[in-house]
Amino acid sequence: MVEGKKSINFLKAMLYLLPALVLMAIFTFYPLIDTFIISFKEQYDNVTGAYSSIGFENYQRIFSAGNQFVLCLCNTMVIVFASVPVSILLSLLIAVALNSIKPLQRFFQTVFFLPYVTNTIAIGMVFSIVFESHQGLANTIITSLGGSNVNWLGGNIQGVTLGNNLFNPDNALFTPQWFTSMIVLMVYIIWNSLPFKILILLSALQSIDKQYYQAAQIDGTSKFRIFSRITVPLLSPQIFYLLITSFIGAFKEYTSVVAIFGEGAQSVGHRHNMATVVWYIYDKIGSSDATEMGLAAAGAVVLFAIIMFFTAINGYVGKKRVHY
C-alpha cells in the first residue's frame, strides 16, 4: 500500500515539475551540453554544423600567444581579485556605519540602495560622462585643483595617464592607459555592486542580538575588537554568500565594460584592451567568420572551469571559517 502511494506521489511530483523541466532541458541543459561538445569540434561551422574532427584545437587557438582571449582572461582576473574584496570590505564598513546611526537611517539606506534599482547601462553612461577625457566632471575637478586632464576613457591625446611609473607603455596589455581606464572600470563595478551587498549585510546586522554588544560593552571591548571578533564572525554566513555570488558575478563581468567603453571595449592603445572573457565570447559568437563559434564555446568552457575551481575553493575555505 505504502509503496504504491509513494510511486503515485512520485509521478504526481514529476507531472508538476514537467513544464519547468522541459523548458530547462531545451533552453538550459541542451545548450550547456552542446557548448561543451562544440568546444571540441574543430573547424566547426556555425551555419552548416559541419566540423573536421574532434580535438583540442579550439583550446590551443584561444591560448596561443597574442590571442585576444588571454588578454580578456587577464582583465577578468584583475576585475575579480580587485573588485570583489574591495567591494565586500566597503559594503561591510558602510553597513556597519549605517547600522550605527540613528537619525536619517532610512534616508541613507534609500540613497545607498538607489543604484540597485537603476539601469546598469544608464549608470554607465553617467560614468562615461563623469570620466569623459576632456571636459568630464572628474577632469573639471582635477583641473580646478590645479591638475591636468586625465585621459580616463581614452580619446584625449593631450591627457595624462596614471601609473606611468608602474607600467611600461610598450607592454602588451598592462600599459599606463590600461591602468587609468581600469580605475574607472573598478570604481564603476564596485559602486554598482555596493547596494545589494549593503542591503544583505545591513539586514543581517540588524538581526544580530543586541545583547552580544551589551555584553561586549560591559567587558570593555574596543570598537575594533567588537567589529573583528563579534560583528564579522556573526556576519560570516552572509559575507560568505556575497563572496561566492560576487566572485561568480565578477567572472561574468560584461555590461559594465560595454556601458563605459562601448561595444569595442577599448580605451586608447590596444584594440579591445578593456575586454573581458564574456565580451570575448559574445564577440566570437557574433563573428563574421562562422568557424569562430568553436572559440566562443571553448572560452565559455574555460570560464566555467575557472568559476567551478574558485567556487570549490571558496566552499572549502567557507566550511572552516564560517560560523552558522
Partner 1 sequence: MDIRLVNLTKIFADKNSEVRAVDNLDIVIPSGKLIGLLGPSGCGKSTTLYMIAGLLEPTMGQIFFGDEDVTNLSAEKRGIGLVFQNYALYPHLTVKQNIMFPLQNMRMPKAEILARTQKYARLVGIEDLLDRKPKQLSGGQQQRVAIARALVKEPKVLLLDEPLSNLDARLRLQTREEIKRIQRETGITTVFVTHDQEEAMSISDEIVVMKAGVEQQRGKPQDVYEQPVNQFVAKFLGTPPINIFYGKVEKGGLYIGDELIGSSNLEDQEVNIGIRPEGFEISEDGTLSVEVKQVEHIGRDTSVVASNKNTEKETFRFIVESGVEVKEHTTIKVAVKPNKCYVFDKIEEKRVQ
Site for partner 1, residues 224 to 263, rule: CB under 8 A: 225, 229-230, 233-234, 236
Alpha carbons 246 and 252: distance in angstroms, whole number: 10
Site for partner 1, residues 186 to 205, rule: CB under 8 A: none
215 touching partner 1, by CB under 8 A: yes
Stretch that binds partner 1, among 58-66, 138-146, 193-201, 213-221 (CB under 8 A): 213-221
Q: Could you write out the DSSP letters of every residue in 228-295?
A: IIIIHHHHHHHHHHHHHHHHHHHHT--HHHHHHHTTTT--SSSTTTT--HHHHHHHHHT-SSGGGHHH
Minimum gap (Å) between residue 225 Cβ and partner 1: 7
Q: Which of 173, 178, 119 is nearest to 152 (CA)?
A: 178
Minimum gap (Å) between residue 107 Cβ and partner 1: 19
Q: What number of other Cβ atoms are within 10 A of residue 105's Cβ? A: 13
170 touching partner 1, by CB under 8 A: no
- The grid coordinates of residue 179 equal 591602468
- 107 or 224: CB nearest partner 1: 224
Minimum gap (Å) between residue 212 Cβ and partner 1: 6
Type of residue numbered 60: Q
One of 37, 214, 271, 286 touching partner 1 (CB under 8 A):
214
CA terminus-to-terminus distance, the chain:
41
One of 2, 20, 117, 218 touching partner 1 (CB under 8 A):
218
Binding site for partner 1 (CB under 8 A): 209, 211-212, 214-222, 225, 229-230, 233-234, 236, 323
